[in-house]
């Protein structure tokens, strides 16, 4: 992990600053309003986690110092507050994610920040506002980001930062999967999902419960499965089965009074996918088997306004304690530790959220 903390020379800094979409600044300054006079408004120097080639994240990422860049008339300079390490972030660095930025690139895809400075033509945002990139975009593992005003969505500062930083990739996926495939009736329909301990799975349970929809949840057989079952029950899961519990001739006999599910979510594949199928009633729908969902594709369909409305709804739930999932806040200078946890090197861990 020592390679992660090495800085590159002037030549590499210039290359990265010109190649990466996000322009950067440095933490710890007082927010300022843009004043155009004889000098050009620029960001302070910045620090970022970058990778210049694809590969294992613990081998190819490193900390880089980048020079100031211009904050243009329509730009907003944002001081990052927090950003998560998502599995899709790891896949982008590895080069296996279907959509990824060209290298060299800065890691991260979502996060929350505070407006530090604005260009002379920016009217809707002011220093001190909390914002998220919406739709999300690459490059949030850095101290400051400079992007056009249209990239940023102002949010309520009363929402805990760990939820503001992580609200798009997982919770929004859960919400769209609930709403895009089958019209489910409250107090009369149910759904089944595998991978229920994932954050998407946890969000599905809670969002379904708010709609009066029952959930049947499948988890893997492994150490801690009993605790996982109780945690999901506490979130509102109606039934939680380990894969081994479903080695019966008729899994539907385990439903009790719950209705046969009309919708199934498969995020694991293999035998776990077949278990989801066994629960579905005739005519039921399973994502990725009969219909697929990919948030990145949905966001590319010009749904910025709709996306932001749903983000506000989800943030309201998180603020009110109606949407919960476990995170661990890690200071930016301990990024290597957070990365090791995100890579699964130290067992199952909460979602790692970097704080700046």
Which residues are tagged catalytic? 97
Contact (Cβ atoms closer than 8 angstroms) between residue 114 and residue 128: yes
How far is residue 132's CA from residue 163's CA, in Å, rounded to a whole number?
A: 11
Residues 6+ apart with CB under 8 A from 51: 57, 60, 61, 62, 93, 103, 104, 105, 107
How far is residue 85's CA from residue 107's CA, in Å, rounded to a whole number?
A: 9
How far is residue 286's CA from residue 262's CA, in Å, rounded to a whole number?
A: 9
Residue 166 parent element (H or E): helix 161-166
Task: Give the closest residue to 181 by CA, choosing from 281, 299, 295, 264.
Answer: 264
Task: Give the closest residue to 179 by CA, choosing from 7, 306, 84.
Answer: 306
The CA-atom distances, in angstroms, between 283 and each of 171, 244, 290 are 27, 26, 11
Contact (Cβ atoms closer than 8 angstroms) between residue 60 and residue 177: no
């Amino acid at each position: 992990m020592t390679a992660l903390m090495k800085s590159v020379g002037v030549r590499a800094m210039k290359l990265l600053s010109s190649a990466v979409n996000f322009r950067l600044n440095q933490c710890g300054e007082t927010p300022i309003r843009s004043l155009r006079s004889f000098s050009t408004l620029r960001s302070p120097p910045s620090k970022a986690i970058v990778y210049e080639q694809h590969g294992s994240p613990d081998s190819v990422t490193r900390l880089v110092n980048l020079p100031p860049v211009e904050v243009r008339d329509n730009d907003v300079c944002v001081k990052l507050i927090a950003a998560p390490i998502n599995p899709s972030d790891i896949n982008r660095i590895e080069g296996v994610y279907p959509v990824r930025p060209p290298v060299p690139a800065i890691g991260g895809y979502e996060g929350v920040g505070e407006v530090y400075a604005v260009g002379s033509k920016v009217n809707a945002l002011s220093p001190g506002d909390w914002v998220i990139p919406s739709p999300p975009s690459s490059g949030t593992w850095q101290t400051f980001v400079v992007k056009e005003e249209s990239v940023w969505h102002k949010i309520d500062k009363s929402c805990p930062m760990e939820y503001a930083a992580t609200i798009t990739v997982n919770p929004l996926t859960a919400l769209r999967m609930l709403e895009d495939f089958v019209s489910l009736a409250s107090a009369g329909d149910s759904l089944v999902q595998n991978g229920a301990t994932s954050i998407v799975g946890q969000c599905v349970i809670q969002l379904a419960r708010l709609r009066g929809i029952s959930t049947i949840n499948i988890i893997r057989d492994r150490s801690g499965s009993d605790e996982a079952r109780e945690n999901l029950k506490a979130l509102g899961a109606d039934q939680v089965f380990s894969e081994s519990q479903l080695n019966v001739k008729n899994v539907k006999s385990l439903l009790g009074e719950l209705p046969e599910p009309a919708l199934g979510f498969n995020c694991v594949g293999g035998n776990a996918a077949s278990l989801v199928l066994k629960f579905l009633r005739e005519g039921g729908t399973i994502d990725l088997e009969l219909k697929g969902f990919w948030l990145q594709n949905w966001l590319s369909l010009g749904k910025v306004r709709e996306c932001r409305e749903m983000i506000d709804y989800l943030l309201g739930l998180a603020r009110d304690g109606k949407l919960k999932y476990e995170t661990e806040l890690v200071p930016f200078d301990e990024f290597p530790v957070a990365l090791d946890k995100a890579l699964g090197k130290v067992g199952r861990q909460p979602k790692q959220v970097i704080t700046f």
